[in-house]
Amino acid sequence: MSISSFYPPQRILMGPGPTDVHPKVLQALSRPTIGHLDPAFIGMMDEVRTLLQYAFQTENGCTMAVSAPGSAGMEACFVNLIEPGDKVVVCINGVFGNRMAENVVRSGGQLVKVEDDWGRPVSPDKLEEALKAHPDARIVAFVHAETSTGVLSDAKKLCSLAKQHNCLSIVDAVTSLGGVPLFVDDWGIDAIYSGTQKCLSSVPGISPVSFSDAAVAKIKGRKTPVQSWFLDQSLVMSYWGGKQKRSYHHTAPVNALYAVHESLLNLREEGLSNAWQRHAEQHETLRLGLEKLGISFIVDEACRLPQLNTVAIPDGVDDETVRSRLLDHYNLEIGSGLGAFTGEVWRIGLMGYGARAENVALCLRALEETLN
């Protein structure tokens, strides 16, 4: 087998992630590797924590980047907070809610499902009902921005219900962080995870997480060890944590963290509310253009994610033919449907650095030419 260096095509990434990576982030990524206990690196990790606290709008000391993709960030939240037998209410309205449920079962938790239709937000009423029916529930989990459907749920309301019923909350913010308003402390979120390859516009592979004091207390009070050694937050914190001497847990993904640092710096320089507004504005341009093409959204306007536009594939149009044409002719990637939505929808991402006028214009023109 003849193999040579891999030179990827230059794509425009408007799927559900990874999204266009900012050029400054790619530059940061390839700076010289240094040791994971080098004082210079430790200093940079402290900055990453500060920048993540800004992005999450939290003062949680236990804020860090898990050395693996969002799915591992999800698992980190579940395996650390669930002890065998804990009752956990999971709100499901798409693929990632189902993945949360899977995590509960594999962590030895007792699963209570609250289900909503795909394309609809999580219903606070149904959650409240479930919490009343299960007064012994310990944790409520839901997805803030469902990547499989493009739906935004009311995280503030859902977390407040959790708190009223003495539950900790676990929130999936993989697609929401940096794209729509999110206030970890104000909303009382106890455990949250995200990914770097969505609205942060960094490369995939790292998962920012944050735990409230209440969550940390539950972790510290565990009677059983966390089933994952790699994701055991008490151990990881001895490396990421505080002002004390750092102790080795695993070798940090040094260069990927350079990239995360740079992407978070970009976000702070732009400012969170400016970033949220930019996503909203680009979404509005895209929406108008898509509607002119006769393409309709499958999500109600009230709970539509600006950064992930889920639209119905027009009748008589072949999913794969169109996406292949966009990729091959325009180097443009849009996302296919996932799970129950396969073949039914496209997911058009406008995330982070990808949410800019030239991408929207290209996407609209390319779709117009391809569909006609």
Beta carbons within 10 angstroms of residue 98's beta carbon? 17
Long-range contacts of 155-162 (CB under 8 A, 24+ apart): 155/182, 155/187, 155/189, 156/183, 156/186, 156/187, 157/124, 158/91, 158/122, 158/124, 158/127, 159/187, 159/188, 159/189, 159/190, 160/187, 160/188, 161/124, 161/127, 161/128, 161/131, 162/131, 162/188, 162/190
Q: Residues 310-329 vs a second copy: string with x where CB under 8 A?
A: -----------------x--
Please choose, out of 64-72, 80-88, 186-194, 356-364, the segment that lies near a second copy by the rule CB under 8 A: 64-72
Site size toward a second copy, by CB under 8 A: 78
Q: Which of 184, 252, 348, 350 binds a second copy (CB under 8 A)?
A: 252
Does position 244 interact with a second copy (CB under 8 A)? The reply is no
Single-letter amino acid, residue 311:
V
Residues 208-237 within binding reach of a second copy (CB under 8 A): 225-230
Burial (0-12, 13-18, 19+ Cβ within 10 Å), 102? middle
Residues 127-146 within binding reach of a second copy (CB under 8 A): none
In the bound complex, what is the minimum distance in angstroms from residue 134's beta carbon to a second copy? 23
Q: Which of 56, 62, 92, 99 binds a second copy (CB under 8 A)?
A: 99
Please choose, out of 1-9, 121-129, 152-160, 212-220, the segment that lies near a second copy by the rule CB under 8 A: 1-9
What dihedral angle (degrees, nearest 10) is formed by the CA atoms of 57, 23, 48, 266? -40
Rounded to 10°, the helix 357-371/319-330 angle is 130
Distance in angstroms (rounded) separating the CA atoms of residues 76 and 71: 9
Of 190 and 262, CB closest to a second copy: 262
Q: Which of 42, 87, 105, 188 binds a second copy (CB under 8 A)?
A: 105
In the bound complex, what is the minimum distance in angstroms from residue 206's beta carbon to a second copy? 8
Q: Which of 223, 324, 274, 271 is nearest to 51 (CA)?
A: 271
Does position 261 interact with a second copy (CB under 8 A)? The reply is yes
Residues 41-60 within binding reach of a second copy (CB under 8 A): 41, 44, 47, 50-51
Please choose, out of 30-38, 117-125, 151-159, 283-291, the segment that lies near a second copy by the rule CB under 8 A: 30-38
Does position 61 interact with a second copy (CB under 8 A)? The reply is no
